[in-house]
A and B are shown apart, each in its own frame.
Chain A
C-alpha cells in the first residue's frame, strides 16, 4: 500500500462510514428494540435517549454520501443507480423514521402513538437490513459491465450472502443499541435493557461466526490482502478481543466501557471490510477486471487535494461539536415537557 491521495480518500470515506455505523448504529438499534419496551413512558425514554443526537448521527451518512460523490463519482453513480430500488426503500425508511421520532409524542392518542411506534421500529429494522444487504453485495461482488454500469437486477441483490450480512448487521446494531440504553436508563427499563444486551451479544456472536466462516469459504478475495500482509491479522484479532470484552465489562457493571468496546468492534468490522476491499471499491463478479478501484473511479488529483484541505479544516470542528453535544446530554435520560 502506498499512501497516495486515492488511498487517503479511501480511508477518509471509510472513516466517515465507520463514524456513521458507530453513531447511527446505536440509534438504529434502539429503534429496532423500541417495540420491546411496553409502556408509553418506557418508549418515550427510549426515544429521548437518542433524541438530541440521532439527527447529527445521520449527518455522517449524508456527508459520507457527499464525500463519495466528490472523491469517487464513479462509485457513487454506479452503486446508487444500480441499487435503485434498494436505495429508494432505504430513503422511504429513513423518512418514516425521522418523522416518526418527531411526530410520535406530539399527540396523546394511543392509536396515534402506536402507529408511529411501529413506523419507527420497522423503519429502523428495514434501514439496518438494507445497509447490511448493500454492504454484503459490495463484499460479495456485483456484476458490472465494461462501462462500469450495474448489470444485475434488484432481486439478484437479495442473494443469501447479502441477506446473511443484513441479519448480522441487525444483530450488531441491536447489541450496540441495547448497551446504549443500559447506559442511558435506570430502574425497570434498565433491567430489561440488560437482558436485551445479553441476548443481542449472543445473537450477534452467532451471526458473526457464521458470516466469517461463509466469507472465508466463498469470498476468498476478501482475505487476499491480509494473507499478503500478515501484520494486518492484528485487526481481526482486535475485533474478536473487542467483542469478547463487551460481556466482560457488562458483567463488572462498567457499562460505558462495554459501550466503548462495542464501538471498537463496529470500527474493527468496518476496518476489516476496508482492508478486504482495498484497492477495489466495488468488486465486479464475474469479470473482476470491470471492478471499480480507488484509481479508475476517482476524481482528479486537484479535487482530491482540495477536498482533503476541506476535510482537514472541517473534521476537527465536527468532532468538537459531536463530543460537546454528547457531553452536554450525558447521564440518565428523563422525560421533560419539551422531550419527544
Chain B
C-alpha cells in the first residue's frame, strides 16, 4: 500500500473510532439535562440517583472522546499538510472556534458535573449539566460546519498558483452557513440523540430483564423512549432534506447513493442491491422512478447520472451505495422500534414483553452503526476530493511523511485503540453491573 492509501486508512480508522464517543456525549448530554431538570422539579431521590448514574457513564465516555479527539486535531497537520496549507484560512477558523467556544465550555463545566456534587448547590450543578450538553452540541456544530464547507464550499475565493494555491475567506457567514451546513448539523444532532437515547433504553431493558433496579429502569426507559421517538421521526425529515441538498450540490454523490449511471434519465430507488461498477448495472430490488420522485416530486423527472462525470471524478460507487442503504434501513428500523415501544407503553405491556426487551438491549448498536455508515456515505461519496470540486485527496497529502512512518503509526493506533475499546467495554459493563446507587439520599448541598 502506498502512503496515500495508508494515510487515508489511518484517518478513516481514527475518526471512525473517535466517533463512537462524541455521539454518546451529545446524546447523553441531552438526556442528563432532562433527568436533572426532573430532579430539580420533583426533588425525587429516584431522579437524583438516575442523574448520578448516567453522569458516571458520561464521564467514562467523555474521557475516551477526549483521548481520541486530540488525535484528530493534530492529524490534519501530520498526514495532510498540503490540505492544511490549502484550507487553513477557512477550515482552521472553524476548528479554532470549536476550541474557544465548545471545548473550554465542556471541559470547565464537566469538572463540576463529575466532581462538584458536594461543592455547589443543585441549581448550579444543573446549570453545569446544561453547559456541558450545550458545549457538546456547539462542538458538533463547528466541526460539522467545517466538514460541510468541504462538501459544499462557499464564502471563499482561491488565490495563488501551484503548491501555493489556497482558499481564503471572503465572507465568514457565507462560509459558516454554506449550502449543506444546516441540514448536516441537524442530521448529526439527530444521529447523536438517537445514539444517546438507545443507549439508555438498552441498559434499562437489561435491568428490566434481569429484574433489577425496577423503578429506575422503567423511568429511564420512558424518558429515553420519548427522545428516541422524536429524534427518529425528525431524522427522517432531516435525512430527506440532506439528500435533496446532495442532489443539488453534489450530484455525483447522489448518483452513487443509488448506483444511478444513465445521464438525464428517471432514477430508481433500491431497497437493497449490489453495484457492478465495471458495467454500471445494479442488481437488486428497486422501486422504479422513486429517486426522481423524492428529489423532484415527479417519478418521470431525470436525475443526473454517474455517466455525466468522467470515471476518475466518480466516487467508489458500491461502497457508497451499501453504506447509504444500510444507514437508511437502520433509520427506518429505529422509527419502527421506537414507535412500537411507544405503543406498548401506551398499552401498559412494554415492561413485560421479554422478546421486545431483548431487541431493545441489542438496539444500542443500531444508531452507532448508522452514524458510522452515514459518515462513510458522506466522506467516501465526496471522493476523489477532500474539498469538493477544489482539492483532490491525492493532492492533500504531506510531502515529507514516508510510507514507513505511516505504517508504524497506523499499527500503533490499531493496537492502542483495540486495547482502549476492550477496556472501555469492560469498565462500562462494570458500571452497568454495579447499577445505580438508589440508597444514597441526595447529599446535603452546600448553600
Q: B-contacting residues of A (Cβ < 8 Å)?
A: 51-53, 55-56, 58-59, 61-63, 65-67, 69-74, 76-82, 84-85, 87-88, 91-92, 94-96, 98-99, 101-103, 106-107, 147, 149-151, 154, 299-300, 302-303, 306-307, 310-311, 314-315, 317-318, 321-322, 324-325, 328-329, 336, 338-339
Contacts and interface: CB of A to CB of B under 8 A. Distances in A.
B104 A317 contact: yes
A63 B102 CA distance: 10
Contact of B85 (A74, A96, A107, A306): A74
Interface stretch (B191-199, B358-366, B393-401): B393-401
A81 B77 contact: yes
Nearest to A102: B63
A260 to B, nearest CB: 21
Interface stretch (B37-45, B111-119, B253-261, B319-327): B111-119
A300 B169 CA distance: 8
Contacts of B409: 84-85, 88
Contacts of B97: 310, 314
A150 B169 contact: no
B71 interface: yes
A84 B398 contact: yes
A62 B110 contact: no
Interface in B362-380: none
Contacts of A70: 88-89, 92-93, 95-96
B111 A63 contact: no
A76 B78 CA distance: 9
A67 B73 CA distance: 11
B82 interface: yes
Given A69-B84, A76-B84, A81 B103 contact: no
B67 interface: yes
A190 to B, nearest CB: 21
Nearest to A322: B108
B104 A63 contact: yes
B73 A66 contact: yes
Contacts of B109: 321, 325
A95 B416 contact: yes
A61 to B, nearest CB: 8
Contacts of A77: 77, 81-82, 84-85, 88, 398
Contacts of B66: 55, 58, 98
Contacts of B285: none
Given A58-B66, A76-B84, A338-B114, A84 B73 contact: no
Interface residues of B, number: 71
Contact of A80 (B63, B78, B163): B78
Contacts of B81: 76-78, 80-81
A300 B166 CA distance: 10
A87 to B, nearest CB: 5
A323 B405 CA distance: 41
A159 to B, nearest CB: 18
A336 B443 CA distance: 13
Contacts of A94: 67, 70
A80 B85 contact: no
A102 B60 contact: yes
B111 A329 contact: yes
Contacts of B420: 95, 99
What are the 3 A-B residue pairs with the smallest beta carbon separation, nearest first?
Answer: A73-B88, A80-B77, A70-B92
A52 B400 contact: no
B107 A63 contact: no
Contacts of A307: 93, 96
A76 B92 contact: yes
15 contacts: A52-B115, A58-B107, A73-B89, A76-B92, A77-B82, A80-B84, A81-B401, A85-B409, A99-B64, A101-B63, A299-B92, A314-B100, A318-B104, A328-B116, A338-B56
B309 interface: no
A72 B416 CA distance: 31
B77 A59 contact: no
B67 A300 contact: no
Nearest to A309: B172
Nearest to B117: A338
A59 B99 contact: yes
A67 B232 CA distance: 36
Given A52-B114, A52-B115, A65 B88 contact: no
B186 to A, nearest CB: 23
B96 A329 contact: no
B98 interface: yes
B237 interface: no
A87 B78 contact: yes
B120 interface: yes
B430 interface: yes
A56 B96 contact: no
B375 to A, nearest CB: 21
A55 B64 CA distance: 12
Nearest to B142: A66
B404 to A, nearest CB: 10
B423 to A, nearest CB: 6
Nearest to A72: B88
B340 to A, nearest CB: 36
B299 to A, nearest CB: 46
Contact of B100 (A69, A101, A107, A318): A318
B100 A81 contact: no
B345 interface: no
Given A76-B77, A77-B82, A99-B423, A302 B104 contact: no
B78 A88 contact: yes
